[in-house]
Structure 1
Amino acid sequence: MEQKLMNDKKDYSLLSGLTLAYVGDAIYEVYIRDFLIRSGQTRPNQLHRMATHYVSAKAQHYLIEAMIEADILTDDEKAVYKRGRNAKSHTSAKNTSIFIYRASTGFEALMGYLHLTDQKERLEELIGWSIKKIGEKNEK
C-alpha cells in the first residue's frame, strides 16, 4: 500500500480540475490552520472565525484575482487554475455566486496541483503570499 501512495510515476497534470481542487482544499486549509496556531491563536471558535478570512470562497476568489493581477503565476499555473475554474461541479455554491465559487475551485486546483507535483517551495511561496495579502486586506 505504501508503495502505491508513493508512486511518483503518475502524471498529476492529467487529473481533473475537481480532483485537484479536492486535494488543494485540504492542503491549503492545513497550511492556514498551521499558520494561525503558530501565530498564537488557540481558541477553537476564534480559530474557525479567523480561518474563514483565508479559506472562504470569497477569500480564495480575491486571492486568485490578485495573483493574476500581480502577474505572479506561470502559464502552467494559470492553465491549472482555469481547468479547476471551468470544471463542471455537481455541487452548488453556498453563500456566494457561482462565479466566485468557480474561481475558488480554480484556486484550490492550483494548490492541489502544486502539492501533488511536489512543488512544495512554490506552494509555500504562493500560500505565504496569500497570507500576507489577506493580512493587508484585513488591516484596511
Structure 2
Amino acid sequence: MNGLALAFLGDAYYELFVRKYLISEGITKIHELHQQKVKYTSSVAQTKIITYFLSENILNAEEITYFKKGRNSAHFGRKNVDVLTYQMATGFESLIGYLMHNDTNRCEYLMQLGIEFIKLGEKDGKRTTK
C-alpha cells in the first residue's frame, strides 16, 4: 500500500482512537469534544507527536520507513498549515495506518503515548519535544 493510502487509513483510525479517549474522559458536550479532538488530531499536534517519537528514538527502523513513506508522498500543503507540517503529519498518519494492519498493540501504544505527550504539553504550556 502506498504512503498516502496508509495515511488515509491512519488518519481515520487515530481520530477514532482520540474520540474514544475523549468520551472515556467524561466529555459529553459536542463543542468541547470537537475542541479537544482538534488539540490531538491537528496537523500541528501530529507533527509534535512524530517529532517527539523521532527525537526520543521511540520508533524502530521499520516504523521510520513507513513514516517516511507517508511523509515523502505528501507534496502539497493545506491552506492553514505549511508544507513541512503537512508532510510530517501525513508521515505520522502513514505510520498509524501501517501499524493498524500489522501490530495493533504497538499502534495503540504509540497513539496513547502521543495523546499523553500532547496532554503534558497542554498542562505545562511549553512542552513541544522532550
TM-score, normalisation: structure 2: 0.92
- Give 1:102's aligned residue: 87
Q: What value does the CA root-mean-square deviation take over the aligned residues?
A: 1.0
- Give 2:113's aligned residue: 129
- Give 1:65's aligned residue: 51
TM-aligned CA distance change 1:48 to 1:77, over 3 Å:
same
Q: C-alpha separation between the residues in 1 aligned to 2:15 and 2:42? A: 10
Q: C-alpha separation between the residues in 2 aligned to 1:20 and 1:50? A: 24
- Give 2:127's aligned residue: none
Q: How many residues align?
A: 124
Q: C-alpha separation between the residues in 2 aligned to 1:38 and 1:88? A: 33
Q: C-alpha separation between the residues in 2 aligned to 1:33 and 1:99? A: 26
Letter of the 2:63 counterpart: E
| Offset at residue 93 of structure 1 (A) | 1.4
Do structure 1's residue 54 and structure 2's residue 50 form an aligned pair? no
Q: Which consecutive segments of 4 or more residues in structure 1 shift more than 2 A?
A: none
Letter of the 1:110 counterpart: L
| Offset at residue 88 of structure 1 (A) | 4.1
Alignment of 1:110-129 (within 5 A): 110-117=95-102, 119-129=103-113
Offset from partner CA, 1:34-90 (integer Å, 9 cap, x none): 00000001111100000011100000000000000110101000010001000045x
Could you tell me which runs of 5 or more consecutive residues in structure 2 were left unpaired when the two chains were aligned.
125-130
Could you tell me which runs of 5 or more consecutive residues in structure 1 were left unpaired when the two chains were aligned.
1-14
Letter of the 1:33 counterpart: R
